[in-house]
Structure 1
């Protein structure tokens, strides 16, 4: 009986310590939607406000459209900050895409889709592993 109780308590405490909460900052044009969908699909806990979260996810884009220049690139990445200290704890690789008629001259949604599909999950898993080591548990 004690072993069962101790096992249950250990699992419950472990579950709470790894249950990180994320807040995805909204962007002007809704580029964060693919990131939110991917995180929900992978069962990450998302909050409505930054104050409730452990980490803040920022979807950042850089670039501008030049009508006279073909192949002008937009670049983007996701930065994850600690919500309490506002210090950067992780960053994805930078991905570049060109605006085209196919994507409505909006490269942002495609950039965030590629980042969320290829680069976001390894970063989130690394955050979980780092937090587990801080607490003293190993996954």
Structure 2
């Protein structure tokens, strides 16, 4: 009985860890706006790599219009082997406000994307085993 339980537990652990076997590289931005994206992927158990050439997928943070305490941003997922754009989030607004401690609007936009759209997008378009 103990042997069966051990084997079952082993298969469950191997199955869970193999779900996120694909390596993801998050492209660096000029001022670290990619950090909410990296934090969210790590907290969800995805395998992050810090070398682009060893990644299966690249997540690119795109900062759009900025000015007057506002910024727009989106995230694109690119297949590293083919270079094809797999998916892109819609543009999200970030705004400096007292409610967010006057945070940088670019960072606010990336945080919104990480919290609302990132994980569903990665699971849908990246071939996680």
TM-score range with shorter-chain normalisation? Answer: 0.7 to 0.9
Aligned residues of 1:76 and 1:108 also touching (Cα < 8 A): yes
Residue 103 of structure 1 deviates from its aligned partner by 2.3
User: Aligned partners of 2:73 and 2:120: how far apart in 1?
Assistant: 17
- Unpaired runs of at least 5, structure 1: 67-71, 133-138
TM-score calculated relative to the size of structure 2? 0.76
Larger relative contact order (CA 8 Å, sep ≥ 6): 2
Aligned residues of 1:60 and 1:78 also touching (Cα < 8 A): yes
**Could you say which residue in structure 2 is the equivalent of 1:36?**
38
Residue 87 of structure 1 deviates from its aligned partner by 1.3
| Structure with higher strand content | 2
Q: How many residues align?
A: 115
CA offsets, 1:83-134, max 9 Å, x none?
A: 1121100111210123457425x20111011100000011011124xx37xx
Q: What do you get for the CA RMSD once the two structures are aligned? A: 2.6
TM-score calculated relative to the size of structure 1? 0.71
- Unpaired runs of at least 5, structure 2: 1-6
Which structure 1 residue ranges, 4+ long, deviate > 3 Å from structure 2? Answer: 99-102
Does residue 111 (structure 1) correspond to residue 113 (structure 2)? The answer is no
Aligned residues of 1:75 and 1:95 also touching (Cα < 8 A): yes
